Structure 1
Amino acid sequence: MTSTDESTGVWATIREAPVPVKALLVGVFVNKLGWFLQVYLVLFLTTSKGFTPVQAGTALGVYGAGSVVGLIIGGSLSDKVGPRAAVMISMFGMAGFVLAIAYVPSYAAVVTVVALAGAVGQFYRPASAALLTELTPKNRQVMIFAVYRLAMNLGTTAAPLIGAALVAVSWNLLFIGEAIAALAYALVAIVALPKRAPRTAQDTTADEPEQAGGGYVAVLRDYKYVLFLLCMFINAAIYMQYLAVLPLHMKADGLSTWWFSAVVALNGFIVITCELLVTKVVQNWPARLVAMTGFVLLGGGLAFYALPGGVAIFVIGTLLWTLAEIIGGPTMFAYPGMAAPKRLLGRYVGSAHAMFGLGSALGPFLGVWVWNASGTQVWVWCGLAGAIGVVLAYFGMSPTASTEETTAPDITPAAEPLPSESS
């Protein structure tokens, strides 16, 4: 199949995607509709459980730490038992732990269950991304990840509104709702996702012995990919400043919360409405070029906030880094599947998601610390970090044999034969 506009367009990619890919898109959308725990955990623990704000904030931090660990474990689990089984384990486990949060009696028990929910609830992400990679032709992978991101963004955007309606009735109903959403994704996995055939000796080539190159050690030996992992960390760490430092800066400039809400809403609107269209243009660019362009716009957009000029500066800066997100996001998350050896696909994907999660967790802390120390100079540091990302992307995402190799997916259908990928 050639990489033409027709074969890689938005609707062609969705229409001709195999049934399991469509099921993944629906499943993650439904699951994100029930994404309540992280949004409402602090309020639940302070208003319903009677814990202090510090205790609630600590629990939220533990949830984030558990999520990073879960992404790493999920990548290994996907390689060992297959994406379908990993998604099922994740969603069944998440449903149980989420329900337990509402009923465990002590703070120690709450923190323990929250950590487990954060970890187990993330197993599905490397597995889902690995399966998208396995089932999608290489020339359509960037586009399918853009569609996947859209499904996640739509679900995540609607979830707080649904959660507010459930909380108005009962806190317990909130946790029941998230458990139901997780079980719905588990049902999708059971019915529509393909089983992976057991690994055989032929799956390990002579130049990739399983014992010598297995596990995350093999990922770390790929020095170019390690540079890419640093790209993911930097990307997330500076991206999160729009939630950590931007509201502090706008408040310091005398702007109301409404203006901050408006620029955040502007970002969300552009991402949801424009990312697929932009991806249609950039999906056939070299991944390294896309990533470098994204870092230039991300670092430049955040550095733009350091200029004087009031609301206009905040709007223009937001437009710049939002453009970075819609240009670079799908490619950055599709790249691990392009770079990974087949037998380590889950670990390559899991490590990338984990580094992004780690950057998302540490970025706000670092940003606020720099803001308190140097004020608007924090945006200059973000620009410099973006420049480092450009260099890392240049050296870490250079073409390799693994990114050009095409292998048939080692899976068998669970329910019905997969549609042909021919056009």
Structure 2
Amino acid sequence: MNERASDGVLAAIRATPASIRYLLGGMLLNQLGAFVQSFLLLYLVHRGVSAELAGVGLVAYAVGAIIGSALGGELAHRLGTRVTIGLAMAASGPLVALIPLLSGPGTFWLVVLDVGLAGLVTQAYRPAASVMLAELMPEKFQVMSFSMMRIALNAGAAGAALLATVFIAVNWDLLFYVDGATAVLYSLLAFSLLPNVVAPPEEEPAPGETASRGSAYGVLARDGRFLMYLAAVFIGTLVYAQYTVALPLKIVADGLSTDLYSFVLATSGIVLITCELKITSYIVKWPPSLAVFLGHVVFGLAFLGWGLSSGNAAVVIISAALFTGGLMMSGPTMFARPAKVPARYRARYLGVTSSITGLAQALGPILGVLAWTALGTVFFPVLTVLAVVTGVLAWGGIKVKPEPKAEPVVTSEAVA
């Protein structure tokens, strides 16, 4: 077998342990039923809540998700991956299923509390899933494994959008009952099929020290390159959010049909699902710094194209191709970066990264609307500049100081 074939998509799939297949299958299943973030606003309005108050529900979910990501990293470190995923999903199911019972003007603040808790526990599983990918996937396919995770999440989200139209036609409440059911099913699968990967212990403090020199958060705070990476994640996510905010506003302002935006969304999703793993099999042969830098530059050029489109649908579509291509170039390598740190710090690094991402996802739409209102079309070249800045930060932040690998503790045989 030649080197290209041994590093390709089929080789990566064959090398994927059964436990990772179960993990990705569970993520796909859970995402197929993930309706809260996408449909909560519309649902609450349907139940008679004002649009302004319904927006508070979305904020509560976002705040819960930010806290839950950090908590999930801590739990994955202390309890292990299987326990964290199983507990998070077991708690998520009932909380989500309660939304229809609590929704309505008279019980609004109860549903806000419920939604906030649902966001917290639902997102708590993500760091543990990433730890499993980092620990159990062969190192040469580690970046590709994060591409597989992105594909599972994107495919699930696409399927969820289609299923939602069916459930809404029958009964809006079904969205949340199905969401809760898929979470509980994922919990059962996790406890039954996944191994429990536990981080090795942190370094003990030297005599006279009051805190461990190896404390994950202390190490992270002193890790300049990782702080650059976090800055890149935060700014890049803010820019990415404008794909769903500034772009549709620009399309409408140019007098183009909203069907064009739907076409762009659908096409980009299909390309990501079907092509990202193959593209990643080539990108992993590049230096990681080059991949993330060029990916963000290409990604940024898409916003410049949208800003200059002036009502030209062809330019909008070509720019969408640049946007999708840039995501495929940089995304998997960026996702895999926290997994490169020593195992004793990994879960907490991943939890902090997820929290930073969640914060940017929550702020992105708000800042996007404000910036569009103030700047109009000028906002798009600003986004291009920010994307290039993100690429520069990612260039430096993606580099990892090599350290001896500490082996994790795996308390199950289900890793083959």
The two structures have a TM-score, normalised by structure 2, of 0.93
Matched residues, number: 409
Counterparts of 1:308 and 1:323, CA distance in 2: 19
User: In the alignment, which of 92, 96, 99 is matched to residue 98 of structure 1?
Assistant: 96
**Which residue of the partner structure matches residue 336 of structure 1?**
338
Q: CA deviation at 1:164?
A: 2.5
Post-superposition Cα deviations, 1:318-375, rounded to whole Å, max 9, x if no partner, equal 111110111111111011101x221111111122222222222212221221111111
Runs of 4+ in 1 over 6 A off after TM superposition: none
**Aligned-partner residue type, residue 142 of structure 2:** Q
Counterparts of 1:379 and 1:125, CA distance in 2: 32
Change (3 A) 1:15 1:245: same
Change (3 A) 1:407 1:242: same
**Which residue of the partner structure matches residue 369 of structure 1?**
370
Structure 1: 5+ residue stretches without partners? none
Change (3 A) 1:3 1:61: farther
Change (3 A) 1:198 1:69: closer
Question: Is contact 2:199-2:408 (8 Å) kept?
Answer: no
Q: CA deviation at 1:12?
A: 2.0
Matches of residues 378-393 of structure 1 in structure 2 within 5 Å? 378-393=379-394
Matches of residues 266-345 of structure 1 in structure 2 within 5 Å? 266-309=267-310, 310-338=312-340, 340-345=341-346
Q: CA deviation at 1:8?
A: 2.8
Post-superposition Cα deviations, 1:354-404, rounded to whole Å, max 9, x if no partner, equal 2222222212221221111111111111011012112212222234114xx
Question: Is contact 1:19-1:192 (8 Å) kept?
Answer: no
Post-superposition Cα deviations, 1:164-220, rounded to whole Å, max 9, x if no partner, equal 2223223332222111110111112111111235855xx63789x972332433322
Question: Is contact 2:203-2:214 (8 Å) kept?
Answer: no
**Which residue of the partner structure matches residue 39 of structure 2?**
40
Question: Is contact 1:33-1:159 (8 Å) kept?
Answer: yes
Question: Is contact 1:63-1:115 (8 Å) kept?
Answer: yes
Question: Is contact 2:228-2:393 (8 Å) kept?
Answer: yes
Change (3 A) 1:198 1:355: closer
Change (3 A) 1:318 1:45: same
Question: Is contact 1:135-1:409 (8 Å) kept?
Answer: no
**Aligned-partner residue type, residue 51 of structure 1:** V
Question: Is contact 2:79-2:198 (8 Å) kept?
Answer: no
**Aligned-partner residue type, residue 64 of structure 1:** A
Counterparts of 1:244 and 1:85, CA distance in 2: 37
**Aligned-partner residue type, residue 333 of structure 1:** F
**Which residue of the partner structure matches residue 86 of structure 2?**
88
Counterparts of 1:44 and 1:349, CA distance in 2: 32
Q: CA RMSD in A?
A: 2.1
Do structure 1's residue 23 and structure 2's residue 25 form an aligned pair? Answer: no
Matches of residues 1-400 of structure 1 in structure 2 within 5 Å? 4-48=3-47, 50-104=48-102, 106-196=107-197, 199=200, 204=203, 211-309=212-310, 310-338=312-340, 340-400=341-401
**Aligned-partner residue type, residue 78 of structure 2:** K
Question: Is contact 1:250-1:256 (8 Å) kept?
Answer: yes
**Aligned-partner residue type, residue 102 of structure 1:** P
**Aligned-partner residue type, residue 157 of structure 2:** T
**Which residue of the partner structure matches residue 418 of structure 1?**
415
Counterparts of 2:261 and 2:111, CA distance in 1: 33
Counterparts of 1:23 and 1:230, CA distance in 2: 33
Counterparts of 1:172 and 1:269, CA distance in 2: 28
Counterparts of 1:298 and 1:144, CA distance in 2: 22
Structure 2: 5+ residue stretches without partners? none
Q: CA deviation at 1:308?
A: 4.3
Change (3 A) 1:108 1:417: closer
Question: Is contact 1:71-1:354 (8 Å) kept?
Answer: yes
Q: What secondary structure, in the 3-state scheme, does the structure 2 residue paired with 1:305 have?
A: helix
Counterparts of 2:260 and 2:226, CA distance in 1: 39
The two structures have a TM-score, normalised by structure 1, of 0.91
Counterparts of 1:408 and 1:37, CA distance in 2: 37
Question: Is contact 2:309-2:316 (8 Å) kept?
Answer: no
Counterparts of 2:273 and 2:324, CA distance in 1: 11
Counterparts of 2:39 and 2:16, CA distance in 1: 35
Question: Is contact 2:92-2:180 (8 Å) kept?
Answer: yes
Question: Is contact 1:3-1:139 (8 Å) kept?
Answer: no
Q: CA deviation at 1:406?
A: 3.9
Q: CA deviation at 1:144?
A: 1.0
Counterparts of 2:335 and 2:346, CA distance in 1: 13
Counterparts of 2:99 and 2:326, CA distance in 1: 38
